[in-house]
Amino acid sequence: MSRAVLSIGSNLGDPFENLRSVVDALGDRLVAVSGVYATAPWGGVEQQDFLNATLIADDPELDCRGWLRFGQELEAAADRVREQRWGPRSLDVDVVDCDGLVSADPELTLPHPRAHERAFVLVPWLEIDPDATLTVRGARVPARELLGDLDATERDGVRRTELRLVRP
């Protein structure tokens, strides 16, 4: 069995429904889902704000590469087009962490190489796993510490919405 932390985001089409498609596809494999957060775009490309969430999922049939393929299939189903780095997208599914594995493979770098710099990943992750840790420069570091190291404007740019991805 593998456990994956997935960061999902969207700012094209119906962003909320794009995020919900990931939750629906996970079904019983979903362990935890954060609230939905509105965040300013990251990377300097002019575009509308994103909706973001973080998920934790378990699946005895998937390894870490399986989680990558799962995310890519969902992105393709949402007509994800990769035209511009950090540009707008219908759906982004990133494998942030998978079983604590560290990999420098260009196809699947784990943990996600910039997760420790992104409040839109750390804030929702800490909501569903207050004890979350991430490997940074060879050491496992509490996500809370990583978030505290970020600039206040980065942290303040992650705004909780009233939207819920899991139906009551």
Catalytic pick among 29, 59, 92, 97: 92
Catalytic pick among 89, 118, 156, 167: 89
Annotation marks residue 14 as catalytic = no
Three-state SS for 78? coil
Q: What is the DSSP letter of 34?
A: -
Three-state SS for 71? helix
Residue 73's region, left for phi above 0, alpha for psi from -120 to 50, else beta, is alpha
Annotation marks residue 92 as catalytic = yes
Q: How far apart are CA 7 and CA 92, in angstroms?
A: 8
Q: Give just the sign of the alpha carbon dihedral 48, 49, 51, 53.
A: positive
Q: How far apart are CA 45 and CA 88, in angstroms?
A: 8
Annotation marks residue 167 as catalytic = no
Catalytic pick among 20, 80, 97, 118: 80
Annotation marks residue 94 as catalytic = yes
Catalytic pick among 29, 59, 94, 97: 94
Catalytically active residues are 80, 89, 92, 94
